[in-house]
Amino acid sequence: MNKMSQQQAMITEPITFYGAGSMAEAIVKGLIAKTVVQASDITMLNRSNSRRLDELQQLYSVKVSNDSAAVPEILQNSPVIVLAIKPKDAAEVLRSLGPLLSEDTLIVSVIAGLTIRTIQDLLGRKQPVARTMPNTSSSIGLGATGISYSKEINDRQRQTVMTLFGAVGTVTIVEEDKLEILTGISGSGPAYIYYMMEAMMAAGIRGGLTPQQCRELTVQTVLGAARMVQLTGEEPSALRAKVTSPNGSTQAAIETLDKGDFFETVIAAVARCAERSKEMGAALKEGIS
């Protein structure tokens, strides 16, 4: 795996986000905050929700459209199209998109499970594709994005993709068959951490702390733990050992987690996430034939 951190270059070509939901907004918010792309170069599309588009336009000064008469021309004139729709909507969108593309239009997909091969089959052409798996922390510049490229992609397009996602966090290039397990760790991962935080806060409230106190203590604890791993370079297991006094309170807590098979349960959750991504991809592939 090849890791790269933030890139400072600018993207000067128009980018269209096909789908204007949580993930598209997270990326756009991060891009605008880093001024890597001018807001006037970004267009966000959805099917019908005009209120949502108005909100995005007001927040980020981007262009927006859900006008079915105007959308084909927007797509035809966009050298970079980011697919940010749900997997269930992907087949229909890709089939209609294929005939509108130029040979070198770059397709960037954030859709879980959807393979490069299926994207090209649905488009009906061997388009340059970057299959990516970002996460919602991109909105604050702390995303972690996994990327795999189709062989049709050129160096300039690779650079555009690196700039796009490097501006909103770290980028990890992987073989395409590793993107599902990567989804299990970093694509869906924020949700597991939030779930853990929900449980810690609930425990604190049950123990008599105020919700505000629980929130502050939990957030700082998670933030501090992540930064400790990052800044010390130590393994999480070594840092855990430093918190865990023999026969102390932490050991008692870890033993309780182990009774619930915590470690293996997390591994099973990541594996099931990866498997579900594959299932979603397979369903889209089956839809072709």
Ligand X SMILES: NC(=O)C1=CN([C@@H]2O[C@H](COP(=O)(O)OP(=O)(O)OC[C@H]3O[C@@H](n4cnc5c(N)ncnc54)[C@H](O)[C@@H]3O)[C@@H](O)[C@H]2O)C=CC1
Annotated binding site for NADP(+): 84-87
Whether the CB-CB separation of 56 and 82 falls below 8 Å is answered with no
18 forms bridges with which residues in the sheet?
45, 83
Partner from ligand A1CAB, ligand X, none contacting 89, C-beta within 5 to 8 A by type: ligand X
Q: Contacting ligand A1CAB (CB under 6 A), which of 187, 218, 281, 284?
A: 187
> What residues numbered 210-239 form the site for ligand X, per CB under 6 A?
none
Partner from ligand A1CAB, ligand X, none contacting 78, C-beta within 5 to 8 A by type: none
Shorter beta-carbon distance to ligand X: residue 49 or 245: 49
Q: Which residues are annotated as a binding site?
A: 84-87
Shorter beta-carbon distance to ligand A1CAB: residue 120 or 188: 188
Sign of the Cα torsion 10, 12, 18, 21 reads positive
Which positions ≥6 away from 286 have C-beta within 8 Å?
Answer: none
DSSP string covering 58-71: HHH--EEE--TTTH
Helix (H) or strand (E) holding 42: strand 42-45
| CA pair distance 209, 7, nearest whole angstrom | 43
Nearest approach, Cβ of residue 47 and ligand X (Å): 4
**189 near ligand X, rule: CB under 6 A:** no
> What residues numbered 90-149 form the site for ligand A1CAB, per CB under 6 A?
112
Using CA atoms, how far residue 275 sits from 109, 118, 209, in Å, is: 19, 17, 39
What does the block give as tokens for 120? 């090209």
> What residues numbered 101-140 form the site for ligand X, per CB under 6 A?
110-112, 133-136
Q: Contacting ligand X (CB under 6 A), which of 6, 21, 39, 57?
A: 21
Identify which range of 20-28, 57-65, 118-126, 158-166 contacts ligand X by CB under 6 A: 20-28
Nearest approach, Cβ of residue 71 and ligand A1CAB (Å): 24
Sheet containing 80-83: order of strands? 2-4, 169-173, 143-149, 129-133, 106-109, 80-83, 15-18, 42-45, 63-65
Interface contacts to ligand X, rule CB under 6 A:
18-24, 45-47, 49, 84-87, 89, 93, 110-112, 133-136, 187
